[in-house]
Amino acid sequence: MGAETDEEVTAGAAAGPPLAGTALVIAVTVIALWLGLLAWLAFSADASDVTWSRLLVVLGSVEAVAFAAIGALFGTTVQRQRVADLTARTEAAESRADANATAALNGHRLAAAVQATRAPGGGPGAEQLSADGRSGKDPLLELANRLFPD
């Protein structure tokens, strides 16, 4: 087993294997056959109408397969680049999501600490923790309660 990550396996499956081996040989052969047939038609300008009609029918069928082969060759290249771009964007988004989750957890912990230490009867010396000398509500406690209600 290789040391591939789940993301690499997913990206490879989405992009599909590169066109190689037998498929590549067939694609290149069909394209070469189509180009050869086009050249033959160009040099057979003096052929009869019946011959031209038959050659054009053959050209049409080879042309359809050749265009499919060209699409396969270029499509795998373009698709692979798109998958690589989307994989990079996904990794960046996951990184931001992890950072945001950590920040949210830290915010919840801070709010719980503020609520525990500044709430009435929240612990020993809770009255002395207030920064302002006014009696009444603690602005930091109010903010923690508003942002993170129980």
Quote the pLDDT of residue 54: 84
- 75, 16 in Cβ contact below 8 A? no
Q: Left if phi > 0, otherwise alpha if psi is -120 to 50, otherwise beta: which for 132? A: beta
Q: Which residues contact 50 (CB under 8 A, 6 or more apart)?
A: none
State the total domains in the chain. 1
Quote the pLDDT of residue 97: 95
CA atoms within 13 A on the CB side of 77: 7
Q: Does residue 142 lie within any of the structural domains?
A: yes
Quote the pLDDT of residue 86: 92
Q: What are the average pLDDT values for consecutive 10-residue runs of the chain, which has 150 residues?
A: 46 53 82 88 82 84 86 81 90 94 88 79 51 63 78
Q: Does residue 1 lie within any of the structural domains?
A: no
Quote the pLDDT of residue 15: 46
Greatest Cα-to-Cα distance within the chain, rounded to the nearest angstrom: 108
Residue numbers of the domain that contains 25:
6-147
Quote the pLDDT of residue 22: 80
What are the backbone angles phi and psi of residue 79, rounded to the nearest 5°? Answer: -65, -40
